[in-house]
A and B are shown apart, each in its own frame.
Chain A
């Protein structure tokens, strides 16, 4: 992915306004690509709307045992680190929900009895909304891990955009890391509650692992000192934007509208936010080349 500015939008948990920030940032940018990596609950396309123009399946190799060749030596069963294989009444059975597609059983089988077939675990949809190309990763319900969908999104997206906005999965688990590895900047979205501050700390630590510059957007604020704001001040996390709690904003979100299209003031705030991030990344790059 060759894009000038890659911004990952993160939050320690869902519901903090991550998609709100990500989708509106994409709308305010010039030529943007929006990557919804929240593959379990991709919601960005509910705001950046449009018909599906293209869809790509995401498949994973899954082992299949050729029972004619298998002599039940158990080597594959004993090897599988995830207990995805079992020898049940003289047959090797694959539990594909827990198989990680590591390919180890195929390597270890002395009889070459294991073949791999492609199993569909989800898809990536492309839509277009105004200035934004919208890519949505969707994990099939019942599948365990969307990591491979995120990897595919991050590697197969065409280049040539000015700005890429990555809407990361919530939380700070392994799956989030794939979505921020590539980013120039991380925007941490937090709520003004104890929960919010606790989760903010977790994602902030994650960005430290990758050494990414980051800043916070505080959502649903009420003008008072709150635990998230205090966390930012104590830990030198710049507060990039305050989005107040307002009934009209909550209505826009509930009906699936972008706030930058509804509210002039917020539209200016988001433009300033993007400008500031772009400046900080530029500064970062400059100091980097000077070193």
Chain B
């Protein structure tokens, strides 16, 4: 199975819009949403059946038994995440606790226990295709681990699919690194703004350590032609394949609001995505056979 990941460096550039259109055009039988902080793909890819849901357990959190605590303050002093406070007794702030267990190590009276916690849930849809997605409970860490789980769910359940489309997460942090690992091609969706440009540079740097091929396209390119030119020449100077531009389509939002993709409406946006798809598939298959 070939795996294509769509990334953007920042949100709102049209990552999910492109992912959903590619899923339609390629008739992909396997796809996933790795934006576990704010998953959106399920809003476009309407599913007939309810998903199989499972809990995602994070690292256990510390719990202090007030009956055993002798208020020595050692746990608070040693917790580097400021998760322990002393207000009428020692308590652990669940949101801040990273589960490192250091407090259990220093507590002289065995008052601290590590207790399991659910920090999100995974959903798997199987409707003749496989769609893996997840949602992290707000305020939880470990999105990188959850991204890895989402991908594992996808791969294990879709062994026969030829192609998988993965909607990545915004940013350059741990969830993005977790989403890049193991994919064959990263398509970077940029936008013609100065922030779009600087985000693109950062994500290209981030992906350099991985074997995946990287290609760039620009969404809403006609909103600022000069910046689009800048992105294209950056790509050619740095030997990064540029796979195309998508014009601004004022109907895009309303299409998505109806649960449709840009591939479902004839027009320049659809045509340009088809070109991006063709060029990307060529890059993906280069060096094969």
Is A bound to B? Answer: yes
**B193: CB under 8 A from chain A?**
yes
CB 8 Å contact bits of B215-229 with A (1 = contact, 0 = none)? 000000001100100
**B279: CB under 8 A from chain A?**
no
Given contacts A142-B172, A177-B139, 6 further A-B contacts (CB under 8 A): A107-B78, A107-B102, A141-B206, A145-B141, A174-B95, A194-B43
Which of A40-48, A159-167, A261-269 forms contacts with chain B? A40-48
By a CB distance below 8 angstroms, the chain A residues around B171 are 14, 40-41, 169-170
**A101: CB under 8 A from chain B?**
yes
Contact B202 A102 (CB under 8 A): no
| SS class, residues of chain B in contact with chain A | loop
**A213: CB under 8 A from chain B?**
no
Contact A41 B105 (CB under 8 A): no
Contact A173 B198 (CB under 8 A): no
- Interface positions of B (Cβ within 8 A of A): 9-13, 16, 35, 37-38, 40, 43, 59, 78, 80-81, 95, 98-102, 105-106, 136, 138-141, 143-144, 170-174, 177, 192-195, 198-199, 202, 205-206, 209, 223-224, 227, 253, 256-257, 259
By a CB distance below 8 angstroms, the chain A residues around B174 are 144-145
By a CB distance below 8 angstroms, the chain A residues around B143 are 173
Contact A145 B11 (CB under 8 A): no
* Chain B min CB distance to A231 (Å): 13
Contact A195 B43 (CB under 8 A): yes
* Chain A min CB distance to B141 (Å): 4
CA of A175 to CA of B43, assembled, Å = 25
By a CB distance below 8 angstroms, the chain B residues around A206 are 138-139
Tier of interface size on chain A: 35 or more
Give the residue of B38, B95, B99 whose beta carbon is less than 8 angstroms from that of A202.
B38
By a CB distance below 8 angstroms, the chain B residues around A192 are 253
* Chain B min CB distance to A262 (Å): 15
Going nearest first, the 3 A-B pairs with the smallest beta carbon separation are: A15-B12, A14-B11, A102-B100
CA of A205 to CA of B202, assembled, Å = 30
* Chain A min CB distance to B174 (Å): 4
Contact B43 A104 (CB under 8 A): no
B220 closest partner in A (C-beta): A250
CA of A290 to CA of B231, assembled, Å = 57
Contact B100 A107 (CB under 8 A): no
By a CB distance below 8 angstroms, the chain B residues around A194 are 40, 43, 256-257, 259
* Chain B min CB distance to A24 (Å): 15
B204 closest partner in A (C-beta): A141
Contact A41 B37 (CB under 8 A): no
CA of A209 to CA of B106, assembled, Å = 30
CA of A173 to CA of B40, assembled, Å = 16
Give the residue of B16, B80, B198 whose beta carbon is less than 8 angstroms from that of A101.
B80
Give the residue of B11, B16, B100, B227 whose beta carbon is less than 8 angstroms from that of A170.
B11
Give the residue of B38, B105, B139, B253 whose beta carbon is less than 8 angstroms from that of A104.
B105
A142 closest partner in B (C-beta): B206
